[in-house]
Structure 1
Amino acid sequence: MVLVAALGCLLLAFLLGVVALVAKPRVTAAGSLALIETSYSVALPETAVVHSSPSWLRSIALRLSPAGVAQHLQRRLDLAGNPPTWTPDRVLAAKGLGLLLGGGLGALIGVRSVGWLLAGLAAGAVFGFFLADLLLLNAGQKRQEKIRRALPDALDMLTVCVEAGLGFDAALAQVARNTAGPLAQECARVLQEMQIGKSRNQALRALTERTTVTELRAFVSALAQAGELGVPIAQVLREQAREMRVRRRQRAEELAQKVPVKILFPLVACLFPAMFVVIIGPGAISIARVLMNL
């Protein structure tokens, strides 16, 4: 009886395992890559509450926007790091809402006359419609600047790890683990895509599509050429790290050369009038007294 019961339990466990395998959906490499793309494009925090945007606001923005605006907004969102709760539909809804609110506010400001009313309505509507685009563009530029500033240090760490004996994937994992910021997030995404099934060149090419940093594009092109020609990666990384340090120094010198020009306008507008009052003021008073006595 004990043997029969044990055999029955084994048979039941086998049947349950077969049912679980059959019922479980198969996960393919293409599906996993699509899941990664979706998770990065609509990444939401755990505590976020998802609210659907009104469709009539999106329709207003779509009517006033050129064709292909959704792909253009998704490109902007990729450059900005896909902020949480922001999707192309929500950006379009924000543009429509900004159009209505900006137009109403401009009409309130110019309510004194018909001409001012029309001018305020038009100016407020235009400003409100493009406000979301300006904010998104600003966020993308700030993120790309952070990537540009972090790239030389990340390349130095990558070079040290590769020269110490680690492979390129392991060195990239060290960079993603020991650094913070947008560049570390992009490195982690590249590693995920490589682990799912993309080749190294494909993952790195996808990285260049999500950035506008010319130095990063040059680095990816150098890695791709090194892989095709059989050049050691350590040598390529060393040269690229040296070039990045030179470019960072040149960029700092360029910014330092721009400082005198930027200081000139506040100096002329704020400091020179006060200096003129202090220096020429007593002489002007003396001249006025002499002329009045005459």
Structure 2
Amino acid sequence: MQSAILVSVTFVCGVMAAILLLYSIAIVRKARPSNREHMDPLPWGIALVWGAVNVLQSHVSEIAPTSMLLRWKRRLQLAGLEYILRPEEFIAVRAISMAIAGILAGLVAWFLKLDGVWTRTLVLGALALGWVYPAIWVGDRKKRRDKEILRTLPGYLDLITLCCQAGLGLSAAISQAVQKGPRGALHEEFERLLREMRTGMSRIDALNAMAERMDNKHIRGLVSNLTQAESLGASIADTLAAIADQRRTERFQHAEKLAMEAPVKMLGPLVIFIFPVTFLVIFFPLAVQMFSTLK
């Protein structure tokens, strides 16, 4: 009787394993590899799991709601990742990150021989962290991009102003600034601006498209001032010089603000780490001496 039950269970498990294997093979064969002909290089961490991302991304595009894909497309665009990852690829990266975090947490729980409650808590926490971490990475990329724009915008405006004062038009001045300016987010956006103007888009429309892509208040102010100056016939060079001075002042004020916040941010580590050690060094010899005299 027991042997018959064992054979039946083994047969059912074998059938389920075969079905799962065939389903996995069908998913892999159905997957459509992503075309990265005009895309930027992948970060090394994503490149390691790109084979699995290629398998999942086609299924994500069929399952995920359109609103979610549009929302992540916008967030990737604001973070400067528009030509690195597509929305369905990013969601696939989140799923793979969650799976890897869960597997690693399970291995850690097995190695430490944790009981059931702690194992479930650790695995669930790792799954949540694995799902959220790529979104945190995108948010950090956007913050670094905004800081870089604030730091490099006055320099680019100075280059464009000098070229305009030398007699070049705005498009030629931007081209010279792209050639001479530092690499970064502004360099990429100005290059894209020039490409759009070469394909026939008007300068005002290309500037507005750049402001919409970056969604940065400094870039929006620059585009608004340039549009107004061009419509009123004002001097582009004088307008750019005034904007550059204003952005340089804002950058200096931002640096002053960060310097004023430094003592407040240092207060927590001082109270938690430095003050207890200082008190221990001061009062420990006194306590030892007091106990020795009492004895």
Q: Structure 1-normalised TM-score? A: 0.75
1:270 counterpart (262, 273, 278): 273
In structure 2, what residue type is equivalent to 1:163?
Q
Instruction: Assess, with a 3 A threshold, how the Cα gap between structure 1 residues 252 and 44 changes in structure 2: closer, same or farther.
Output: closer
The 5 A counterparts of 1:232-243 are 232-243=235-246
Is it true that 1:219 corresponds to 2:216 in the alignment?
A: no
1:74 deviates by 2.0
Under a length normalisation based on structure 2, what TM-score does the superposition of the two structures give?
A: 0.75
**Would you say the 8 A contact 1:208–1:216 is kept in 2?**
yes
Measured at CA, do residues 99 and 282 of structure 1 come closer, stay the same or move farther in structure 2, by a change above 3 Å? closer
Q: 1:76: which partner in 2?
A: 75
Percent identical residues: 32
Q: Which digits, 9 at most, give the CA deviation of each residue in 1:225-262, with x for residues without a partner?
A: 22223222122112111111110110110011011112
Q: How many residues align?
A: 252
The one-letter amino acid paired with 2:121 is: A
Q: In the alignment, residue 261 of structure 1 is paired with which amino acid?
A: V
Q: 1-side partners of 2:243 and 2:235: how far apart?
A: 13
User: Residue 129 of structure 1: which of 128, 131, 154 is its match?
Assistant: 131
Q: Is the 2:106–2:123 contact (alpha carbons within 8 Å) kept by the matching residues of 1?
A: yes
Q: C-alpha distance in 2, partners of 1:57/1:283?
A: 67
- Give the corresponding residue for 2:10: none
What's 1:92 paired with? 91
Query: What's the counterpart of residue 197 of structure 1?
Result: 200
Q: Is the 8 A contact 2:60 2:88 kept in 1?
A: no
CA deviation after TM superposition for structure 1 residue 137, in Å: 2.2
Q: 1:41 to 1:149 in 2, by over 3 A?
A: farther
Q: 1:283 aligns with which of 273, 282, 286?
A: 286
Q: Is the 8 A contact 1:58 1:93 kept in 2?
A: no
SS in 2 for 1:68: helix
Report if aligned partners of 2:101, 2:130 keep a CA contact under 8 Å in 1: yes
The CA distance in 1 between the partners of 2:167 and 2:204, in whole Å, is: 21
Q: Is the 8 A contact 1:147 1:183 kept in 2?
A: yes
User: Which whole-Å CA distance do the structure 2 matches of 1:231 and 1:170 have between them?
Assistant: 18
Provide, for residues 130-149 of structure 1, a one-character-per-residue CA deviation record: whole Å limited to 9, x for no partner. 22222222223222321221
Work out which of the residue numbers 187, 190, 194 in structure 1 matches 2:190.
187
Contact persistence 2:57–2:88 (CA under 8 A) = no
1:2-21 equivalences under 5 Å are none
Shift of 1:40: 10
Shift of 1:73: 2.2
Which 10-residue stretch deviates more, 220-229 or 102-111?
Answer: 102-111
1:118 alignment partner in structure 2: 120
Residue type at the aligned position of 2:283: I
Q: What's the CA shift string for 1:126-166, capped at 9, x where partnerless?
A: 11112222222222322232122100111111112112211
C-alpha separation in 1, matches of 2:52 and 2:100:
19
1:151 paired with 2:150, answer no
1-side partners of 2:214 and 2:82: how far apart?
15
**Structure 1 residues 214 and 68: alpha-carbon distance in aligned structure 2, compared to 1, 3 A threshold:** same
Quote the Cα distance in structure 2 between the aligned partners of 1:41 and 1:135. Answer: 23
SS for the counterpart of 1:53 is helix
Task: Return the offset for 1:191.
Answer: 0.9
- Highest Rg: 1 or 2? 1
Equivalence for 1:231? 234
2:39 to 39, 42, 56: 42
Shift of 1:86: 2.6
* Contact preservation (8 Å) 2:178, 2:191: yes
Residue 29 of structure 1 aligns with which residue? none
Gaps of 5+ in 2: 1-34
Where do 5+ consecutive residues of structure 1 fail to align?
Answer: 1-37
Give the 3 Å change call, closer, same or farther, for CA 40–143 of structure 1 in structure 2: farther
Tell me which residue corresponds to 1:138.
140
* 8 A Cα contact 2:174 2:190, kept in partner: yes
SS, match of residue 166 in structure 1: coil
